[in-house]
């Protein structure tokens, strides 16, 4: 249980949601997700100057997303067939490609959050030197690594179809926009 003072601290991290949804189609290499859209929350987080990564990890944990990590985004196309993923930008900025070679390019910056459904490709096209994200997965989901190889495709499609919806939005909790967009 999160103490009341900690809950207030966490609530101070969150801005009103500004959501864009992108339905990304199978491009022949990256399957993407036929059921749910990729979500981008612009300026979702008000990050403290120090320890922003710790604050984001705590927010994700409270909202039942875990196995968090800190890093950047790999500079090659990859996707996860066994888990959804959230990427919260804590510092810097980057240009990313989402959905494979035929997908979309987006600029992201500190405070932005990307929620990537299982099967959706992602790649870093270039980032500032201070670029730092915190990534995590819904409670109970374990990630794998897929690269768009023909030999992994059949298994990946089966896995993607079985990945359940998360219990809560990683940023806004049980009443967050993720659940509205993904249950349509």
Per-domain residue ranges for the chain?
Answer: 4-182
Check whether 5 has a pLDDT greater than 50.
no
For the stretch 12-67, pLDDT in tens is 889 998 999 999 999 999 999 999 999 999 999 999 888 899 999 999 999 999 99
Point out the least confidently predicted range of 43-52, 97-106, 119-128.
43-52
Confidence band (pLDDT; 50, 70, 90) for 1? very low
Which residues are within 8 A (CB) of 122 and not within 5 positions of it... i.e. 6 or more apart? 73, 77, 78, 79, 87, 96, 97, 98, 114, 116
The class (CATH top level) of 4-182 is mainly beta
Distance CA 172, CA 56 (A): 12
Q: What is the mean pLDDT of residues 150-173?
A: 97
- Which pLDDT value is given to residue 44? 97
Distance CA 171, CA 72 (A): 19
Higher pLDDT, 6 or 165: 165
Check whether 114 has a pLDDT greater than 90.
yes
Average pLDDT value over all residues in the chain: 94
Confidence band (pLDDT; 50, 70, 90) for 8? low
């Amino acid at each position: 249980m999160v103490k009341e003072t900690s809950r207030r601290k966490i609530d101070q991290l969150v801005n009103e949601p500004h959501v864009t949804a992108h339905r990304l189609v199978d491009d022949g290499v990256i399957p993407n997700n036929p059921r749910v859209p990729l979500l981008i929350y612009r300026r979702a987080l008000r990050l403290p100057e120090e320890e922003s990564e710790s604050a984001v990890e705590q927010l994700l944990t409270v909202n039942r997303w875990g196995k968090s990590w800190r890093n950047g985004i790999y500079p090659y196309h990859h996707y996860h067939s066994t888990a959804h993923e959230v990427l919260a930008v804590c510092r810097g900025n980057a240009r990313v490609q989402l959905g494979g070679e035929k997908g979309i390019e987006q600029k992201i910056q500190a405070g932005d959050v990307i929620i990537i459904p299982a099967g959706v490709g992602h790649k870093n096209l270039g980032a500032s030197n201070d670029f730092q994200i915190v990534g995590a997965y819904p409670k109970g989901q374990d990630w794998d690594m897929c690269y768009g190889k023909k030999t992994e495709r059949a298994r990946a499609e089966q896995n993607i179809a079985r990945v359940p919806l998360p219990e809560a939005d990683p940023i806004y909790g049980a009443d967050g926009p993720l659940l509205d967009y993904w249950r349509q």
